[in-house]
Structure formats: structure tokens, C-alpha cells
A and B are shown apart, each in its own frame.
Chain A
Amino acid sequence: MSDVMVDVHGVHKSFGPLEVLRGVDLRVRAGEVTVILGPSGSGKSTLLRTINHLEKVNRGWISIDGELIGYRRSEDRRAARRASVEGGGGRRAGKLHELKEKEVLKQRTHIGFVFQNFNLFPHLTVLENLVEAPVSALRRPRKDAEDTARRLLERVGLADKTDAYPRQLSGGQQQRVAIARALALEPKVLLFDEPTSALDPELVGEVLDVIKDLASTGTTMIVVTHEIGFAREVADTVVFMDGGVVVEQGSPAAVLDAPRHERTRAFLSKVL
């Protein structure tokens, strides 16, 4: 249990009458790369967005490094006493308090998120994009944040672009900046929401290379993608989702080469 970094437990999520997640369980161990595959509408992006609380869950819970996301548990003394008198155990004692936005924002600094459309701040330079969150959310000294930012830009191969504006970069370069921006907070886990889907085919490789490099240094990552080759090469665990549930999961070899489930086979035959 101790090395479980991300714990998703029985998560349900509906948008109005549409039930997008129907009881998802997922466990990601520290230092592992989990790749989530599935047809569009299977709920994989929504699942990713519930992990950093961009979407609130309707049922179930999520914890990262043992910390509950979006809620705080408190012991309700009266309920605990009643439970102990009745001998019903302490499980139902206590309450879940919804966290205030300020506390949620603080939790999110531990969770890096990379968007399909990059979402860089277009009015800020590349360096300012990287420095903004560490300075304002973590209260790092600007000088330190800039040093870290330069080091990260070097790591993603964009050391010469510090003063460029995002629109002056190619899509691949923008996504690499976005990855560096997420890393600037030194998160415990990195979430990628289809990081290469908005890119021209010839730019996909440079972004995947950066993610592979991160994987080799033991960063905990959950990647939603359609790149099966990437999943085979990098993933420790491949998760196949369809219809708001996890259909099957296992090693890349098990899920991609010998899928046990008919729906997985049907999906893979279409994309491979």
C-alpha cells in the first residue's frame, strides 16, 4: 500500500443524465508509467481530470500519496462514540469535508497536468510560463524559479526559446514547454491528456521522446493516448477503458498482444 501513488476507488461521474464514469478502480505505483487506452467517449480523459479535481466525482474517492483529493476526512466524535457503544466499528464515524478552492489549488501543485491543446499562456514568454506557478503557488524566490525553469527547458531541448512567446513556437515545441511547465512544480505525479493528438504527425516523435526520457528517470505518470507503439515501449501498465469502466489492465504484452476481452480485441484491431 505504501508505494501506491495514485489510488482511484469506485469513481462515478455524470454530466447531467450522461454517466461517463461508472465505477473506475485504478492503482498506480510510484515511479510507474500507466497508459490508458480506449475509444473516444470511454471516459479516459474525464478520469484523468477527476484525478486533479478539475472534475468533481459523484461517488468514490481518489487519493494521491495517501492524501484524499478534494476532501478532508474528520473524526466526528459523537458519531464515533455512538459507533463504539453500538459496537458497529468506527468505519461510519466521521465526515468528508469538501475542500475550499484554495486548498484544492494547493493540492494541485503536487499533480502536473499536460493538456491536449497545450494551454500555454500566450501573453507570457516561455520563461514566464514556467516561472508563474512556482512563484505564485509555491512562493519560491523568482531567481530560483528561473534557474529551475532554464534547467527544465534545457532538458526538453528548448534552452534557446526562453524569451519566445508560445505562438512563435511549433506545436511540438509548445507541448514540450507545457511539459516543462508542469515539471516546474516538481509534482508527485504527471498526468498527460492526449499530449500528441493536436500535433502534426512529424512533431509527435519529439514530444514522445521527452515523455520517454521522463519515464526512464522514474517519474510517476498516467498517459491517455492513442499511440499504441508508445504504450508498448514505455508503459509498465496498460489500462483499456470502454463505456466508463476499466475493461482490462496488465502489462503491455498481456493487454496489447493477448487481450482477454472481446472489446479490447475489437479496439486494437482498428487502431493497430
Chain B
Amino acid sequence: MGLSTDSAAAPPGTAAPGTDPGTPPAKNDLASLKVVPARHYARWVAAVAVIVLVAQFAHGLITNPVWEWQVFSDYVLSETIVKAVGVTLQLTAYATVLGFLLGTVLAFMRLSHSPVLQTVSWTYIWIFRSIPMIVQLVFWFNLSALYDRLGVGIPFGPVFWSVDSNSLIGTMGAALIGLSLHQAAYAAEIVRGGVIAVDHGQLEAAAALGIPKLRQIRRIVLPQAMRAILPTAGNEIIGLLKGTSVVYVMAIGELFYQVQVIYGRNGRVIPLLMVATAWYVVLTSLLSIAQYYVERRYARGANRTPPPTPVQRARRFVRDLRAAAAQRNQPVHPLKSLGADR
């Protein structure tokens, strides 16, 4: 605050020229005045308009008979649907693990000094990002048309052991391979992005200390890369969870396929789509919460004091409310209370 504006704003007489210029004039007078908060009229109008729209939508959800909430509640926890949710979760879990394992290998191949490994990794990512997932899935589904037997032997030489590819892979296997390979291409780029985001000095320090190479990656590089990997990886896993609905083309009994089967039978399309919607929303919400806590864990050491979790914040809020209620009877100085809030 400039001194000149201070003395200009002060009413004549309150601060005589020549008194200590360091203290703003009439400080005690200002402190005793009542503070009127700014009024945001436009904000209130906008809020009312939005609330009306939301209320209208909610009203429609409840009163429109086409939603058939009775049918929804009959099916949402039915055995078929719960089992189908299990299949969806299985597909997501396996494809996530396999996809990120292969993706990590591809990422380090791409970062290696070997031009062969670099090229193979680059080509893999290029191809698998270029093919739509549904096209790839149908390809794997028809693998036996391409290779009817798979075996182990000398490359380009005799085969010692082989098996019918349909019996080895099956529908579920084909779906998992398709999802994992597709996922690996994206995971590779996510992991690579995380690794190159780690400060080069960290690698030099690890190298200067003579820490073995694999240990450097596992203990020094990856934990720090996780900070950059996790937000995008969270996106990918949630995308994958929803993406598993594509395997309905292979007649696998996951959530979306079962919902289609049921409404194909009884014609109640809208409530059954709501069943699927509700489950997908619940599952992605759980994943988002998990992501929050995993990110928090990998942020250790990144902040001087970690920010509170929502649960901790809620507890603190309740405690503050109680404290405020206990203090309400005591008069509080307006400016002081403003300062204490911040």
C-alpha cells in the first residue's frame, strides 16, 4: 500500500503532517466499521436458472414412465447382471495388468540404445494404435482361420509341440489378447512419457552411486515416473473399463452384452440401458477414488506437507463448525475474523 494514497484517503485532521508516516492514518476508526460483503447479483441469477434446469431434468427422470424405474430395480442387482459385471471387471483387470506389463517393456525398448529394439517398439505402437479395437478383436476371434495350429519349435524349423489354436485361445482368451495388445500400445507411450519426465540428475546420481541398472529403474526411475504416469493411466484404465463393452461382438457375457440379451427378450430397452449406465458409473467412480489415493501415495516427498484427503477435510470442516458454534456467543472483531478465515 503506497504511503501517498494513504494520506490522500485520510480525512484532513486525522493525520497531521509530520507524524510517523509508517502507520496508516485512522486505523482504529476503520477497524471499528462494519464490513459489507460484495453482492454478486448476476451470479445469483445464473444459479437460479441452472437450478431450474436441473430440477426440470430430475423431474423428468422421476415422472417419465418410459424410464420404468421398477424394471431398473428388478434387474440392477439380478444374478445375471452381477455376474456380467464380474466378467467386465475381469476383462478390465487382466487387460490392465497385461497391457501395462507389455507397455512398460515396450517403453524401455523404445528408450534403449538398440536401434532394433527401438524400431520394433515404435512399429508395434504404430500398428496397434492404428487399428480400431473392434477390428482387432474380430481378427483375434478369427485367428484360427489364419493359424489353425500354434506350436513351439525351432524358428523356421521343426515344431516339437503344437495345439489347436481355437482350444488354446477360446473366445475369452481372444478378447483378452485383443484388449491387452491394444492397451499395451497406449500404455507404452504413457510409461515412456513418465520416464522421460524424471529429472536427468536422478539417473546420474543413481549411476554415480553404482546402483545396478534394473534396480535404478525399479527403485529410482519408476516411482518418480509414476507421478506423471498415474493421471493418464487412470484415464486409460477407465477408458478400458468402458471399452470392454466392445467385446459384445464376440458374444462374451460382459455387462453390455447381457443387457442387450435381456432387452432383446423383453423389449425394455431404456431401463436396461440405465442398468448398464449405473454400473459403469459406479465402477468408474470407484476407480477414480482408488486413483486419488494411489496418486497420493506416489506424491510422498513431493510436497513439504501433503494436502488433506477429502475425508480429512470433511472431518476438519465438522470440527471447525463445532468450534464456530461454541464461539458464536462471544463477540468477534470484524476485521480480525476476516483475517482469521484466510
B-binding residues in A (CB < 8 A): 52, 54, 101-102, 105-109, 111, 113, 115, 117, 119-125, 132-133, 136-137, 165-168, 181-182, 185
Residues from chain A with a CB closer than 8 A to the CB of B209 are: 108-109, 113, 132-133, 137, 181-182, 185
Residues from chain B with a CB closer than 8 A to the CB of A121 are: 202, 205-206, 220, 224
Residues from chain A with a CB closer than 8 A to the CB of B224 are: 121-123
Quick one: CB contact mask for B206-226 with A, threshold 8 Å, 1 for yes?
111111110100011001100
Q: Are B211 and A133 touching (Cβ within 8 A)?
A: yes
New contact pairs (16) apart from A121-B220, A133-B211, CB-CB < 8 Å:
A102-B213, A105-B210, A105-B212, A108-B207, A108-B209, A113-B205, A115-B205, A122-B301, A123-B300, A132-B219, A132-B220, A133-B209, A137-B212, A167-B301, A167-B304, A182-B209
Q: Are B208 and A52 touching (Cβ within 8 A)?
A: yes
Minimum distance in angstroms from B262 CB to a CB of chain A = 48
B69 within 8 A of A: no
Minimum distance in angstroms from A32 CB to a CB of chain B = 22
Minimum distance in angstroms from B307 CB to a CB of chain A = 14
Quick one: CB contact mask for B26-50 with A, threshold 8 Å, 1 for yes?
0000000000000000000000000
Which single residue of chain A is at the shortest CB-CB distance from B220?
A: A121
Residue among B201, B210, B224, B301 with max Cβ neighbours from chain A (10 Å): B210
Minimum distance in angstroms from B42 CB to a CB of chain A = 42
> How many Å lie between the Cα of A102 and that of B208 in the bound state?
12
The answer to whether A119 and B207 touch (CB under 8 A), given A167-B302, A167-B304, is no
B67 within 8 A of A: no
> How many Å lie between the Cα of A115 and that of B202 in the bound state?
11
Segment 165-206 of B: residues with Cβ below 8 Å from A: 199, 201-202, 204-206
A-binding residues in B (CB < 8 A): 199, 201-202, 204-213, 215, 219-220, 223-224, 298, 300-304
16 A-B residue pairs with Cβ-Cβ distance under 8 Å, sorted by A, are A105-B211, A108-B207, A115-B208, A119-B201, A121-B202, A122-B224, A123-B298, A124-B301, A132-B220, A133-B210, A136-B212, A136-B215, A165-B300, A167-B301, A181-B209, A185-B209
Dominant secondary structure of chain B at its interface with chain A: helix
> How many Å lie between the Cα of A185 and that of B210 in the bound state?
9
> How many Å lie between the Cα of A108 and that of B220 in the bound state?
17
Minimum distance in angstroms from B319 CB to a CB of chain A = 26
Minimum distance in angstroms from A66 CB to a CB of chain B = 19
> How many Å lie between the Cα of A107 and that of B300 in the bound state?
32
> How many Å lie between the Cα of A125 and that of B300 in the bound state?
9
From the candidates A54, A102, A123, A136, name the one contacting B204 in the complex (CB within 8 A): A54
Q: Are A122 and B219 touching (Cβ within 8 A)?
A: no
Q: Are B211 and A132 touching (Cβ within 8 A)?
A: yes
Which single residue of chain B is at the shortest CB-CB distance from A119?
A: B205
> How many Å lie between the Cα of A133 and that of B302 in the bound state?
22
> How many Å lie between the Cα of A105 and that of B215 in the bound state?
12
Residues from chain B with a CB closer than 8 A to the CB of A136 are: 211-212, 215, 219
Q: Are A106 and B210 touching (Cβ within 8 A)?
A: yes
Q: Are A166 and B301 touching (Cβ within 8 A)?
A: yes
Residues from chain B with a CB closer than 8 A to the CB of A102 are: 212-213
Residues from chain A with a CB closer than 8 A to the CB of B303 are: 167
Q: Are A105 and B301 touching (Cβ within 8 A)?
A: no
Q: Are A105 and B207 touching (Cβ within 8 A)?
A: yes
Residues from chain A with a CB closer than 8 A to the CB of B206 are: 121
Q: Are B210 and A115 touching (Cβ within 8 A)?
A: no
Minimum distance in angstroms from B210 CB to a CB of chain A = 4
Residues from chain A with a CB closer than 8 A to the CB of B202 are: 119, 121
Nearest 3 pairs between A and B by C-beta?
A165-B301, A119-B205, A109-B210
Q: Are A108 and B208 touching (Cβ within 8 A)?
A: yes
Which single residue of chain A is at the shortest CB-CB distance from B300?
A: A123
Q: Are B208 and A113 touching (Cβ within 8 A)?
A: yes
> How many Å lie between the Cα of A125 and that of B302 in the bound state?
11
